[in-house]
Amino acid sequence: MEHILSILIFFPAFAAVMGFMVHKDAIRTYGITVTAIEFLLSCFLWASFDSNNAGMQFSEFIPVISQYGIAYNLGVDGISLFLIIMTTFMTMISIIGLTEKRDLKNLILTVLFLEMTMVGVFVALDAIIFYVFWELSLVPMLYIVGAWGGKLRIYASIKFFLYTFTGSLVMLVGMLYLGYVYFQTTGNWSFSLLDWNMMMLPIDMQMWLFVAFFLGFAIKVPMVPFHTWLPYAHGQAPTIGSVILAAVLLKMGTYGFIRFSLPLFPDASVAMMIPMAILAIIAIVYTAMVAYAQEDIKQVIAYSSVSHMGVIILGIFALNVEGIGGSLFLMISHGIVSGALFMLVGVIYDRRGTKMMSEFGGLARVMPMYATVFGIMLMASVGLPLTIGFVGEFLSLLGFFAVSPVLTAIAGTTIILGAVYMLVLYKKTFFGPITNPINEKLQDIKGREVAAFVPLVMLVVYLGVYPKPILDPVDKSVKQLVQVMYLKSVTPEAKAKIATVNTIGETK
C-alpha cells in the first residue's frame, strides 16, 4: 500500500502507452480490462482506508524542486476517497457502454490518459502538482470533443479550453502568491496544502485570493455566468466525453472549493456565503427553465447538470457538516445519474442518429428495458426518496437551511422544476403513439449496454436506501475541515457564523 496512489495515477497512462501495440480489434476488451483493474485498485484503497481517521492516509512525498518547496505530495481522506472511486468506476462503465465506432483505438487510449489526470487531481496535496494534473486534464478532453464530436466540435472544444484555461491561469497566480506569503511568513517555500492550512491570513488578502481561486473553480463547475461553454461541450462531445465530463470533470471544481477555498480562506468563505448562494440559486432556477425549453434530449440533461451543480455549491457554502457532507454525496450521486443519462441518450442516438424529442414517442412499447432504466435514472435525477439523488439534495438543502430558510426554500424549487422538465421529456419520448414508423423497429438494450446499466441502477437504489457506507467516512473528514475553518478564522464574526451553523460544542 506504500505507493497505491501513484499506481492509481500512472497505471492508466502506462496502459495507454502499451495500448498502442494492441490490435484495434482487441482495443475495447483491452480498455475494459485496464479500467476494471483500476477500479479494483480503488476498491482495494477503500478496503484499506481507516474510516475512523479523519486525516490524510496513504501519503507519498518526494521532493521535486526543493528550493521552492514543490514536492510530489499525495494523500487521500474521506473527502477525496469516493471521488477517486467514482472516477475509476464511471470510466470503466463508460468504456463498457461505449457506442462510438470511429477510430475507437485512439479514443479509448485518450480516455485512459484522461483517467490519469482526473485521479491525480483528487490525490494531489501539493498545489503545483494539483495544478499540473488540473491543466493536463484539458488536453485529452479537448481532443475527445474536437476529434469525435459533432458538427460544431471545433468551436465547442476551443470554447471549453479557453474558458477553463483562462480561469486556471488566474488560479495559478493565486497559488504562486500563497507560496510567496508562506515564504515571507516562515522563511521557507512550500506549496503543500497541509502547510498552507497552518497559515492565518488577513481578511483582505483572503478576499483577493478567494476571487483568484473562485475563477478557476467556478468556470470548471460551471457556475452562472461562466456556464455557457458547457452546453456546447456536451452537445458536441461524443457520448463517452459527455459521460466523463458530467460525472467527473465538473466535480473537480466543487472539490477545489472544498479542498482549497474553505480551509485556506475561512473568513472570505463566510463573507461570500450569501453571494455564492445567490449565484447558485440563479443557476438552479435559470438553467432549470432553460432545460424545460430545450427540444434536444442531450441539452435538457446538460442544463439540468448546471442546475444540480448549483445545489452542490449551496451545500458547500452552508459551511456546516450537513451541507458539505451532503454536497460531497451529491457529487457522487450526480456523477452516477448524469453519467447514466448521457449514456442513455447515446444509446438512442446510436440507433437513430438524432437526439430530438420530436423524432420519438411511444418508445416504451418497443424498448421497455430502455424505458425502465431511463425512468429510474430520471427519478434519481429529480431527487425521488429512496434513490441516490434524494440523499445529497436533502442534506445540502438541510445544511443551508441553518444559514437562510428563505434562500433554501427558493433553492428547493429545483425539485419541482427538475420534475417538470424531466417528466415532460419522458412523456414526449416514451409515451403516446409511435408517430415515426422507423421507431417501431428499434432494438432494446442488450449485451454490453445491459452490463453497463445494471451496476448503475443497483447503485442508485442501494445508496438511496442505505447511504451510510459513503456518509460515515465523509463525515469524519468534513468535521475536521469545519474545525480547521473555525480555528483559522481571524475575525470574531466568521468564528461566530461558523459556530452558529454547526454544533458549537463539536466545532470548538
Q: What is the pLDDT of residues 252-274, one digit of tens each?
A: 999 999 999 999 999 999 999 99
| Residues whose CB is less than 8 angstroms from the CB of residue 455 and which lie 6 or more positions away in sequence, other chains included | 89, 93
pLDDT of residue 507: 41
Q: What is the pLDDT of residues 437-483, one digit of tens each?
A: 888 888 999 888 999 999 999 999 999 999 999 998 899 999 999 99
Which pTM does this prediction carry?
Answer: 0.94
Q: What is the pLDDT of residues 217-253, one digit of tens each?
A: 999 998 988 888 888 888 888 999 999 999 999 999 9
Higher pLDDT, 338 or 495: 338
pLDDT of residue 454: 95
Q: What is the pLDDT of residues 163-179, one digit of tens each?
A: 999 999 999 999 999 99
Instruction: Report the C-alpha gap between 325 and 391 in whole angstroms.
Output: 10
* Residues 256 and 213 sit within 8 Å (Cβ to Cβ): yes
Q: Picking from 327-331, 457-461, 504-508, which range would have the lowest pLDDT averaged per residue?
A: 504-508
Rounded percentage of the chain residues whose pLDDT exceeds 90: 72
pLDDT of residue 98: 87
pLDDT of residue 503: 62
Instruction: Report the C-alpha gap between 443 and 351 in whole angstroms.
Output: 8
121, pLDDT greater than 60: yes
Instruction: Report the C-alpha gap between 171 and 25 in whole angstroms.
Output: 43
Q: What is the pLDDT of residues 192-223, one digit of tens each?
A: 999 999 889 999 999 999 999 999 999 999 89
Stated as kind and residue range, the H or E segment containing 47 is helix 27-48
Instruction: Report the C-alpha gap between 298 and 428 in whole angstroms.
Output: 14
* Residues 316 and 324 sit within 8 Å (Cβ to Cβ): yes
Indicate the domain borders of the chain.
272-465
